[in-house]
Every structure is written in C-alpha cells, then in structure tokens.
Amino acid sequence: MNKRMKILITYDGSTCADNALEDLLRAGLPSAAEALVMSVEEEWMPPPPITSFELVAEIFPQNNLGVRTAPELLTEISPTQELALKAKARVQELFPAWEVMEYACAGSPATEILKKAEAWHADLITAGSHGHTALGRFFFGSVSHKIVTEAHCTVRISRCGGEEHFEKEKILIGIDGSLGSDAAVQTVAARQWPAATEVKLLIVTDPLKPSLVGNFIPAVVQWVEETNREEHQWAKEIVEQQANELHKHGLKVSFAVKEGDPRRVLINAAEDFHATTLFVGARGLSGVDRFLLGSVSAAIACRTHCAVEVVRPVK
C-alpha cells in the first residue's frame, strides 16, 4: 500500500494564511492524505509557575476578583488552539477524504514548525508568504524564509493575492540538472492536475565572458565561446529529457533555455507565463558552468508573484 502524503499546514489567522489554505486546491495534492494544521503563539517570556497562580488565588479569592486557578487555565481553549481548530475545519471542508489533525503550541514560530515537521516526518510544509501570530507579534515573512532555507522537506509558499481567479493551472519548473531540480520535475509528475494544466520547463545558463585582457587573446575568446556552446547544448539536452518525462504523465509541456541571472530570469518568466506555481529544487549544482539553485530559491520564494514550491529530494 502506498504511503499517504503528510502535509504540515501552518496557520496564524492572517489573510495570507487564509489564502494559503485555499491555495491547497491548486497544488495538485492527492485526494487522500494526512494533514496537521499547526498554529504557534510567539513566546516572549516563560509562563509563571503554577505556585504563582495558587499564591494569587489565595490572596485574591476567586469569588471576589474572578481570579482563575491553574487547572482552570489549563482546561480552557487558548486563542492559538482556536486558530488551529478553525483552520482544521476549513481544510476538512476542502479535502473531505483527508485525515486532518490540529496542533497548537508556543515558542519561536519557525523553530517550532521545523521541529514539528522533522518529528512528524512531514513530506510538505505549506505557509503564507507573510502574516502574524494570534497576537500579531511577528512578521511571517521572516518565518517563511527560515522554513524555506532550513526545512528537510518540500516547502510551499503561497502568495497573499487571494482575489485572483485562474482559468487553468500553469506550472513553471526551474531546472538545472541537479538532484533538486530532478525532484521538482518528479513532484509535478506525481501530483494530480486538471486536464488543461500547462507545464513549462525553464533552464537558465549564465554564459562566461572573457575579461578585458582576454578579449585581446584569441585563444581565450575561442575557449569561452566553445564553453558557452557546450553549456547551451548541455542545457538543451537536459530540458528536452525532462520534458519527455512529463509528457509520459499526460501533461502539456513546453520548454526553453535562457541566459542570465537565474533569480531574475525565473521571476520574470513566471510573470510572463502567468504561472500559478513555480517549482524549483532546494539546491543546485555549483561551478562556473552551473548555477547554485540553493542561493536563489529563497529569493524566488519571497519575490515571485505566484505560489512557489521549493522541492527537496526524498532521502
């Protein structure tokens, strides 16, 4: 029997978090999965010990000033728990066949989310691009950035423009021939997309340029030109190979090879393509003839107009 996908859904009650819940419908997720909705209250100071509550209760009787004892405080539902329950109910509406649970805690949001994802063996973490806690005390953009860069599983960052209406799904995949980009292609192939979904593969190369002195040395110029030609040919072969793999899964696929800064090219390409989601690998290949996708994935997740999934290979 196939293992069900485990999805950790972060929720802080913000509009962006609400949009991230609705965005789950556009992620091609399986009809049967396990979901854990998690809300974190940012903790600034440690709670007082139980003896402090007991001491206050003795000095100010409950029937006079309404002071509640520690057991009473522990049994009531906190605002953070209420948020998690609210989001759980919405997720269950969107995906009736999912097994949905909720979890609320206090602490450093990014740290708690990463810790829970690791302990629960999450396959995917979803989050809004920015938001706040139940008390509005932290900027979620910093949290999502930390999750993207440090999570051991795939992370999906949704945009806050919840008023958009998409006629069809348009998926852009940034590849570079690394294990991370291979995993991004495999992830798209494994998801359940509507029949009209379009997929575009894009590989970005950064061609070498001879130095000022090298411009006057024919051998250097020739070497640079040959290296760039080889790089372009390598890129074309990789993108065609990946396109063929996606074709086998019944997807409508196009592809392109472009030159430039991967961050800028991918962000612009997502906008020009009107992509609903941009998939990238968490890490790429280093060296003069490749680009390090790990250094651009966080920038893409923060700046792209559409949802972004940063995919990590399954170990």
List phi, psi (to 5°) of 2: -70, 140
DSSP strand E in the chain: where?
Answer: 5-10, 33-42, 99-107, 124-128, 154-158, 170-175, 198-205, 252-259, 277-281, 307-311
H/E stretch holding 72 reads helix 70-75
Q: What is the DSSP string of 155-174?
A: EEEE-S-TT---SS-EEEEE
Lowest mean pLDDT: which of 177-181, 220-224, 250-254? 220-224
- Label residue 120 by pLDDT band (50, 70, 90): very high
Whether 165 has a pLDDT exceeding 80, the answer reads no
Lowest mean pLDDT: which of 86-100, 144-158, 185-199, 212-226? 212-226
Q: Which two tokens stand for residue 160?
A: 């806050």
- What pLDDT sits at residue 161? 64
140 is a domain residue:
yes
Domain boundary among 158, 191, 226: 158
Could you give the angle at which helices 79-94 and 15-23 cross, rounded to 10 degrees? 30
Helix (H/G/I), strand (E/B), else coil: 214: helix
Helix (H/G/I), strand (E/B), else coil: 141: helix
Q: What is the DSSP letter of 248?
A: T
Q: Examine the domain organization and report whether 154 and 9 are in the same domain.
A: yes
Query: What's the whole-number mean pLDDT along residues 270-288?
Result: 78
List phi, psi (to 5°) of 18: -65, -45
62 is a domain residue:
no
The CATH number covering residue 143 comes to 3.40.50.620
Q: Examine the domain organization and report whether 18 and 153 are in the same domain.
A: yes
Q: Examine the domain organization and report whether 145 and 213 are in the same domain.
A: no
pLDDT tens track for 105-115: 999 999 999 99
pLDDT tens track for 48-81: 555 555 555 555 554 444 444 445 445 567 889 9
H/E stretch holding 84 reads helix 79-94
User: Taking Cα atoms as reference points, which of 175, 187, 171, 172 lies closest to residue 242?
Assistant: 175
Q: Examine the domain organization and report whether 180 and 151 are in the same domain.
A: no
Range(s) of the domain holding residue 222:
170-311
Domain boundary among 102, 129, 158: 158
CA–CA separation, 257 and 217 (whole Å): 29
- Label residue 157 by pLDDT band (50, 70, 90): very high
User: Does the pTM of the predicted model rise above 0.85?
Assistant: no
- What pLDDT sits at residue 177? 83
65 is a domain residue:
no
Q: Which residues is 172 bridged to in the sheet?
A: 200, 278
- What pLDDT sits at residue 183? 93
246 is a domain residue:
yes
The count of structural domains within the chain is 2
Q: Examine the domain organization and report whether 192 and 90 are in the same domain.
A: no
- What pLDDT sits at residue 289? 33
Percentage, residues of the chain above pLDDT 90: 48
